[in-house]
Amino acid sequence: MSEQPRQRIPALLLSLVPGWGHVYWGRESVGIGIFSAAAVVGFAFLNSWLVYQGAGRTTLVWVFGVVFGLVMVANWIDIFLRTDPERMGEDDRRRRLCMQRGTAAYLQGDLAGAQGEFRECLKIEPNCPEALFRLGVLAAQQDDLETVRSSFRRALRYDLAGKWSWEIKQQFERLDARFSAQDEGSSADDPGGESAPGPGDEETPAREEEAEHAST
């Protein structure tokens, strides 16, 4: 892996704040979802405890308190399982296998197969810089500029060791040169922006001559 290895203890400690451990572990969407759920339930708990004075106040306090506790427990158990050394080893083995199969498919000209393998790698490790870089290269060959930019930017963001920085910058330079050349070629082919005359335009003089003879 090109990024610095994450440590289990910091992930578990950060999980004392719901979702932060997942963000640290590279699961931003999961972490944000857990944090949002905990924030909503926590706000409801505090509101029912400190503000609300109506009927059923005690029940609401208990309900929201229990739900908040369940969110916290689920958050901690999930990050505990994700950071298990055996699971980490298995995930790394699967990730490497996907990268090998994707690279082999790419060398054989099977771009769709390579893309599928690299995407499968991202399911295992969403922020794998190498898989993101490979997907960016494939997208560049298919003129998918949006995917190129998003993949390369994410790769640069998570490539903490800087392994792919030079290659990504080279890819961006090649793309800029390529599309600049295409723009210049388009301008040279149609310098005045005028369209060629259609069939109806060529027949106009003959029709005018026929109309003149008819009038005489």
Q: How many residues does the chain have?
A: 216
pLDDT of residue 144 exceeding 90: no
Amino acid residing at 17: V
DSSP secondary structure code for residue 118 in this structure: H
Spell out the long-range contacts of 85-89 with Cβ–Cβ below 8 A and sequence spacing 24 or more: 85/8
- The answer to whether the beta carbons of residues 136 and 175 sit under 8 Å apart is no
Amino acid residing at 27: R
- The answer to whether the beta carbons of residues 83 and 25 sit under 8 Å apart is yes
pLDDT of residue 199 exceeding 50: no
Q: In whole angstroms, give the CA distance from residue 54 to residue 87.
A: 49
How sure is the predictor about 5, in pLDDT bands with cuts at 50, 70 and 90? low
Which CATH superfamily groups domain 87-179? Tetratricopeptide repeat domain (1.25.40.10)
pLDDT of residue 208 exceeding 70: no
Task: Please state, as a whole number, how many other Cβ atoms lie within 10 Å of the Cβ of residue 134.
Answer: 23
Span 86-119, pLDDT tens digits? 888 898 899 999 999 999 999 999 999 999 999 9
pTM: 0.62
How sure is the predictor about 188, in pLDDT bands with cuts at 50, 70 and 90? low
DSSP secondary structure code for residue 216 in this structure: -
Dihedral over alpha carbons 3, 4, 7, 12 (to 10 degrees): -50
Name, in order, each residue with C-beta under 8 angstroms of 99's C-beta and a sequence gap of 6 or more.
117, 118, 121, 130, 131, 134
Task: Please state, as a whole number, how many other Cβ atoms lie within 10 Å of the Cβ of residue 144.
Answer: 15
Average pLDDT on 21-34 reads 89
Domain boundaries, the chain: 8-83, 87-179
